[in-house]
Structure 1
Amino acid sequence: MNITSISSQQVTPQYLKNLNTKPEAESSSFVVEEAVVNTKPKDSSALYKELSAKYDVRNSTFDEMVKISTALYEAGEISLLDHSFLTFDFERAEHNLRRLDPSRVSADFSLYETPTNAHGQRDWIAEYKARAEKDFSFGNLIGHQHSTKISNILERLSR
């Protein structure tokens, strides 16, 4: 048996790209002649001032939080992950849990850590701080870190 040579019978797996192909014709490529670079620094403080003048994160509904989060995400101030945390509808999730298994999920079950007032408004900073504490107590350090990050973003809106 000769180990140093490769057999001509060796089969190439079908999922590998064929390395013997020729490049496509140049007519199918394109050239970017000029790139436009935005050299103007973005003023995030103006966005935060505008949002804090319009909304009170210490007394907002979920729909208002969705609007705040969308504005921050579209401005590039928060990541898609942050946006998804801020816009996840826990009330809808609670409703689905009750509907799927009403015998195991009580009517007063809540995924939120803090209560709402009579108008459905909640202190979102307190909510995310409570979530961070709960995550930390369960050893969920990633959840703790992320909830703390969200509460810091919201505190910036409460100034």
Structure 2
Amino acid sequence: MQRRSKYSCVMAILAALSVTPRLQAAEMQLPDIRTQPTPQAVLDEHIDALNKCDWNRLVAQYPEDAQIHLLNGTIVTGRKAIGELFAGFCKDPKDGGLNGINFKVVQSTLIGGTFATHWVASAPFLAEPYKGSDAYITKDGMMQAMVTTFDGAALKMKK
């Protein structure tokens, strides 16, 4: 039941993003863009900020024209929409978010400015670790794009 609820929450967040991203984002104060000195520093900052659910640090990495490619062909474009996506992600689990989840890089290969990264996620509220892979495309010290296999509906939650 919790798995279905988590899937419903993720789908509701994505639906809200596609219908009213400009309205929701207008209420957010986006952080200043902050660049990193190397592609590795961009990835390290992303993983650390994600693990700490530090919304400001997460969004500060993305330029105005950034993209995140999600499952089923969903593409989140622009800092404001990406900010909304991470705002939902960083909510407490009781509120449908994943604050407290920890991503550990298992293996990562840098090809040009792109990382092919295999990771495993764990959390006190997960019944078992969850494995996935992402492509992180860095450019000019920022996270230009991300392609993820992450599927919130596939997380096995503790009962």
Q: Which has the larger radius of gyration?
A: 1
TM-score, with length taken from structure 2: 0.27
Greater helix percent: which structure? 1
Greater strand percent: which structure? 2
